[in-house]
Chains A and B, each alone.
Chain A
Amino acid sequence: MSRWYRWYALAIVLSCSWALWRGWWITPVERLTGVPKSVRDNPGSYRSHYSGYHRYFGGK
Chain B
Amino acid sequence: MGEAMSCPKCRAPLEEVKIADGVVVRTCTACSGVLYEAGDIAVPLKLSGPRPARFDWPRCRRPMETTTSYEGQLEVDRCLPCAVLWFDAGEIMILRKLSGVENIAGKRESEAGEEVPPAAAGYVRPKQIKDPVPTEMVGVRNPDYENAPTVELDGRVYRHFQTSVPVTTFVLGEFPWIAKVGDTARMRDFIAPPFLLSQEVTAVESVWSAGEYLEPEEVWAAFALPGSPPYKTGVAPAQPNPWDAHLPSVWKSFWLAAAVCLGAYVLVLAISSQENVYQGAFEVAAADLERSRVGDIFEVKGRTSNLEFTVDTNLDGSWAYVSMALIDADTDKALDFGREVSYYHGVDDGEAWSEGSRYETFYVPSVPPGRYYLRVEPETDAPSQLNVRVIVRRDVPLKRLPLIALALLVVPALWAGMRHGAFENTRWMESDHPRTSSGDDEEDDE
A-side residues, CB < 8 A to B, are 1-2, 5-6, 8-10, 12-13, 15-17, 19-27, 29-37, 39-40, 43-44, 46-51, 53, 55, 59-60
Contact = CB atoms under 8 A, between A and B. Distances in A.
Nearest to A36: B332
Interface stretch (B1-9, B174-182, B408-416): B408-416
Contacts of B404: 16
B254 interface: yes
Contacts of B319: 55
Contacts of B363: 23, 25, 27
A53 B253 contact: no
A34 to B, nearest CB: 5
Nearest to A2: B249
Contact of A48 (B367, B377, B402): B377
A32 B355 CA distance: 34
Given A5-B253, A29-B365, A43-B375, A16 B401 contact: yes
B290 to A, nearest CB: 8
Interface string B359-384: 00011111100000101010101000
Contacts of A15: 405
Q: Which 9 A-B pairs have the closest CB atoms?
A: A23-B306, A43-B292, A2-B249, A9-B257, A23-B305, A16-B405, A25-B365, A50-B338, A1-B246
B101 to A, nearest CB: 61
Nearest to A52: B379
18 contacts: A1-B250, A8-B412, A12-B257, A17-B261, A23-B365, A25-B365, A27-B362, A30-B336, A31-B334, A31-B336, A32-B325, A33-B332, A43-B292, A47-B292, A48-B325, A50-B337, A50-B338, A53-B379
Interface in B222-254: 243, 245-246, 249-250, 253-254
B291 interface: yes
Contacts of B367: 23
Nearest to B344: A60
A29 B364 contact: yes
A53 B323 contact: yes
B375 A48 contact: yes
Given A25-B363, A43-B292, 7 more contacts: A9-B256, A19-B401, A22-B305, A43-B293, A46-B292, A48-B375, A55-B381
